[in-house]
Structure 1
Amino acid sequence: MILLDPLYEPYPLSRKSVYAEKGMVATSQPLASQAGLDILKKGGNAIDAAIATAACLTVVEPTGNGVGGDAFALVWTKDKLHGLNASGPAPRSLSIDALQSAGYEEIPERGWIPVTVPGAPAGWAELSKQFGKLPLTEVLKPAIDYAEKGFPVSPVVARLWGEAYDTFSELEGTEFRSWFDAFAPCGRAPRAGETFRLPEQARTLREIASTNAESFYRGELAEEIERFAQRYDAYLTADDLASYRPEWVEPISVDYRGHKVWQIPPNGHGIVGLQALRMLDGFEFAERDTVDTHHKQMEAIKLSFADAMKYVTDQRYMDVSVEQLLSDEYLESRRGLIGETALEREAGNPKMGGTVYLATADNEGNMVSFIQSNYMGFGSGLVVPGTGISLHNRGYDFSMDKSHDNALQPGKKTYHTIIPGFLTKDGTAVGPFGVMGGMMQPQGHVQMIMNTVDFNLNPQAALDAPRWRWRDGNTISVEKTFPTHLVHALQKRGHNIEISANSIGDFGRGQIIWRDSKTGTLIGGSESRTDGSVSAY
């Protein structure tokens, strides 16, 4: 791979990529990045650093993830890529019939109904068991310390925390009171720079560390979760927790201009980015900021999302296979639908032929692409009393249509938006990359990979480049830094372009770490749209 001169600044105010040799951690919150680096310096590897950073993010960036969320990871170690799916299924007693009998026609965003089994703690323990060097008690220590002793709230986190406080203040029901006890004990969200403590979460993290997460699924913490659920006649039970295990999965990939781009297979929607890139591989792009480049990217994303929204779910329930969705024959037919003007798209028929993201690397060659989420910020709005466990609401994405591939069923995993990415070339790791932010994630992956491979941007420049986001139909949001002449040109091609001032919420927040194949030097970039930082040595 050819990377441009690190001093090249194609975009105003672009920060410089970070270069290092021994180790690197890139994430959306500086304290978490530093926590991961500290673990590397103590003799841990990239896997230990990823776990430490992930746990720390549940404390210092609770607006995007929590102990009661899901996680996915791609781990490069000993010249092989491994995939971990640590997302949880719907409770065994939760079904469409049960919800309809209770008077629900749709799955609500908040409360107990959208709560599925949290997978993140089991994911940490499994990663540590399989690939870690240090005990979990050592790896989770930075997170425990910040939760117990306090941390200064960073600016973007403070803003999102305030928005969550306003949202949850409008919710009715006593089940939400414990959220305010944990995250707004003074009757408001903390402000930027204020020190905030989460002592109950510190105790929970210590319990997870000392039991390798067993307590969360088959011990004292599981009992606390069940007691809270029973108080509100919720569907989640101790049996649902006890039966949960994360899954090692075979990563999926496509070829893109001499590289391989890797994702976790469904139930995640990383396949959206893979389909789009494979379609775009059939075109030539001379420059990034042209109407033709952006038009074709947008049309490929729309085609890919049309398929995902029809087919992607727990693989056991998909009507088509991953192989069919990624076959060259099928994607060639989809590529042929991309014309000169914007068109609304429907799913094809392959049978015919708010989240946090982090990246780590060490001097042993290990690299990790890791993502975890509570969904929609603080998720369900529920916090298990006395534990600081903020529960996610991932079940909201299930369909109530029994004929849909992603229809709610007991013990089924739903369509999942969080996706870690990884790039290789000639069987060698280039590195981890990712973008947090719901439906923006595969769209961000496509733009970042093309920025790197097609347009030779270094990691920080690839992240800083103005982004666009497909919404629905022919509606596309663009950042206010997006070139005005391209806005007009895309409108002439039939795109409904909306200029958004909300870069933090609308366009995702990403991280990249590449390893130079000739020198072994690590090159990292972190998101300028948030409090992101790269820690390295």
Structure 2
Amino acid sequence: MTVDYLYNPYPLARNSVFANKGMVATSQPLAAQAGLEMLKKGGNAIDAAIATAAALTVVEPTSNGIGSDAFALVWTNNQLYGLNGSGPSPKNISIEAVRRKGHEKMPAHGLVPVTVPGAPSAWVELSKRFGKLPLPDVLEPAIRYAEEGYPVSPTLGKSWDLSYKNYKTLLYGEEFKGWFETFAPNGRAPRIGEVWKSKAHAETLHSIAETNAESFYKGDLADQIADFFSKHGGFLSKEDLAVYKAEWVNPISIEYRGYNVWEIPPNGQGIVALMALNIAKGVEWNDKDTVDTYHKQIEAMKLAYTDGKAYVTDPKDMKMAVEDLLSEVYGQQRRALIGEEAMSPEPYQPVHSGTVYLATADGDGNMVSFIQSNYMGFGSGIVIPETGIALQNRGHDFSLDETHPNALKGGKKTYHTIIPGFLTKGKEAVGPFGVMGGYMQPQGHMQVIMNTIDFHLNPQAALDAPRWQWLKGKKVMVEPHFPSHLAQALSRKGHEVEVAIDSGSFGRGQIIWRDWETGVLVGGTEGRTDGSIACW
């Protein structure tokens, strides 16, 4: 076996799910079923991933949309491929232009933080290179959900209501009218169990499917997006859309105790997870639930994040090479800084996010790790009228300080929080994993991988385990069910520990591992959301 699938220290936790013909793990049951439909129609894991991702724009709009960005790691033909579906800033944007609009820092909502959406192009690139089924067939379940409607699930309903109440007080102006018409047509968010539908969303997905997204980047939909931005004084243009294409990239990795952990290279923050694990692998981890284990994990993550925020940006503008940040020497130097007391590195202020993650696998050995996001919930608050296209606000992470490594300029990709993960051993795939949730994502990746490799937890147990989240300085937040005696012990080491009211900000993950001897798939799904595994 690749890992000890049987160990679960949480007797009341759900069990991992086993199958051998195919599996889809994601945060919404209907989206998981959309992926399974593709597998049963003769499609592969890539078709299943695209179908699930498209469905998630409909059944979890609080986290992603047609105007999202996306990243993917694809295992096929015994090789791992990476796809960067994040878009650059508009060509004509600049620090000076944003300041002239009265902003001292990049806003979170509105037209200014919108960068070129990459998700539709990512779907097309995956389909063209590795898919088996025609794109119209793959997007059909998502189109059906949008056209016929679906009942709102519990976590989705709660998030939708919170977003509506927040937007009602924050979003003023004609440019935000489309969001309220689309997502609060009755003057409120849809309630849990209430059926919501969007004919415009369905028509847009149909157009993307029939034209391989040409309509979105060069055709009628591109015209509608560009005209809207021109009308309301935004920066995104049809030229920005027309020249965009999701980019195939070489995944990056580190060796960790006989395994290789893989991430998408910058501009994504996956390198932060690898840096933290590179520091951690020089430490002996005897038991999971000890103060020494949690203390050193947190300290390693602090160091990795401090350096990630200092260097990660568009690869063209990075001041330090990826190879140097992941080198053994660098890991040793940073590890040497970990002492018995909590340190306070240069702080940053994380923000909450809106992201969906999914993992797929088929009976032929193909596996996909896929993540898609609008950022900060619904994103920019901009919905192009009569299209259902909710646009992300990734440009919010740009700095208006010209000396900052992630300083805004036209045509540049920003530091990106969404990261899919993948695990291999030797020449064999173990499988896809991910933990969505803004700046929690590398922290979740580190904890899930260590739970798997160091502490031998099965996929469901690895996800169910209580999580911690470093905020800034010495501040650490832990989940409500985190052992209180360990939280107190961390406080005695100088950590400023805060116990969260709920688990909403601790990430939402999915895992599928494959036993390469038997071909059996074993999956875990997130209990912190409406997580579901569909399999056969």
Q: Same fold (TM over 0.5)?
A: yes
Look up the match of 2:332: 332
Determine if the alignment matches structure 1 residue 172 to structure 2 residue 172.
yes
- Give, in whole Å, the separation in 1 of the partners of 2:99 and 2:4: 57
- 1:19 alignment counterpart: 18
Residues in 1 aligned to 2:2 and 2:479: alpha-carbon distance in whole angstroms: 27
Distance 2:163 2:10 in 1: 32
Contact 1:50 1:358 in 2 (8 A): yes
TM superposition shift of 1:192:
1.0
Look up the match of 1:110.
109
Structure 2: 5+ residue runs without aligned partners?
A: 348-353
Deviation at 1:10, TM superposition (A): 1.5
Other-structure match for 1:350: none
1:100, distance to aligned residue in structure 2 (A)? 1.8
Distance (Å, rounded) in 2 between the aligned partners of 1:253 and 1:399: 28
- 1:230 deviates by 1.2
- Give the match's secondary structure for 1:254: strand
Check conservation: 1:287, 1:293, Cα contact below 8 A: yes
The reply to whether residue 77 of structure 1 matches residue 76 of structure 2 is: yes
Which residue is equivalent to 1:502? 502
- Please say if residues 146 and 197 of structure 2, whose CA atoms lie closer than 8 Å, have aligned partners that are also in contact: yes
Contact 1:39 1:49 in 2 (8 A): yes
State the Cα distance separating 1:531 from its structure 2 match: 0.2
Which amino acid letter does the alignment assign opposite residue 530 of structure 2?
D
3-state SS, counterpart of residue 506 of structure 1: coil
User: 2 CA distance for matches of 1:78 and 1:11?
Assistant: 36
1:313 matches 2:321: no
Q: State the alpha-carbon separation in 2 of the partners of residues 260 and 70 from structure 1.
A: 26
Measure how far apart 1:519 and its partner are.
1.4
Change in 2 beyond 3 A, CA 1:383/1:5: closer
Q: CA deviation at 1:518?
A: 2.1
Alignment of 1:435 onto 2:435: yes
Instruction: Write the mapping of 1:189-338 to structure 2, written as runs, cut at 5 A.
Output: 189-338=189-338
- Percent identity between matched residues is 63
Residues 5 and 50 of structure 1, relative CA distance in 2, 3 Å threshold? closer
Structure 2 counterpart of 1:61, one-letter code: E
| Counterpart for residue 488 of structure 1 | 488
CA distance in 2 between counterparts of 1:16 and 1:198 reads 36
SS at match of 1:463: helix
Aligned to 2:64: 65
Measure how far apart 1:102 and its partner are. 2.6
1:279-428 correspondence to structure 2 within 5 Å: 279-346=279-346, 354-428=354-428
| 1:343/1:474 contact within 8 Å kept | yes
Q: Which amino acid aligns with 2:511?
A: I
Q: In 1, are the aligned partners of 2:346 and 2:473 still within 8 Å (CA)?
A: no
Aligned to 2:124: 125
> 1: distance between equivalents of 2:282 and 2:5?
28
CA distance in 2 between counterparts of 1:501 and 1:512 reads 26
Q: CA deviation at 1:182?
A: 0.7
Whether the 8 Å contact between 1:307 and 1:346 is mirrored in structure 2 is no
How many Å apart are 1:12 and its aligned residue?
A: 5.1
Q: For the Cα contact (< 8 Å) 1:2–1:456, is it kept in 2?
A: no
- The answer for the alignment partner of 2:99 in structure 1 is 100
SS for the counterpart of 1:341 is coil
Q: Secondary structure at the match of 1:163?
A: helix
Alpha-carbon separation, structure 1, partners of 2:249 and 2:344:
34
Corresponding residue for residue 88 of structure 1 = 87
Residue identity matched to 2:273: G
Deviation at 1:67, TM superposition (A): 0.3
Q: Which residue of 2 aligns with 1:43?
A: 42
Q: Which runs of 4+ in 1 moved over 2 A?
A: 1-6
Q: CA RMSD in A?
A: 1.0
Shift of 1:5: 5.4
The CA distance in 2 between the partners of 1:91 and 1:223, in whole Å, is 15
1:107-139: per-residue Cα shift (whole Å, max 9, x none)? 111000000000000000000000000010000
1:479 match? 479
Q: Match for 2:66: what amino acid?
A: V
In the superposition, the TM-score normalised over structure 2's length comes to 0.98
2:469 corresponds to 1:469: yes
1:297 and 1:392 map into 2 onto residues whose CA distance is: 32
Which residues of structure 1 form unaligned runs of 5+? 348-353
CA drift at 1:332: 0.7
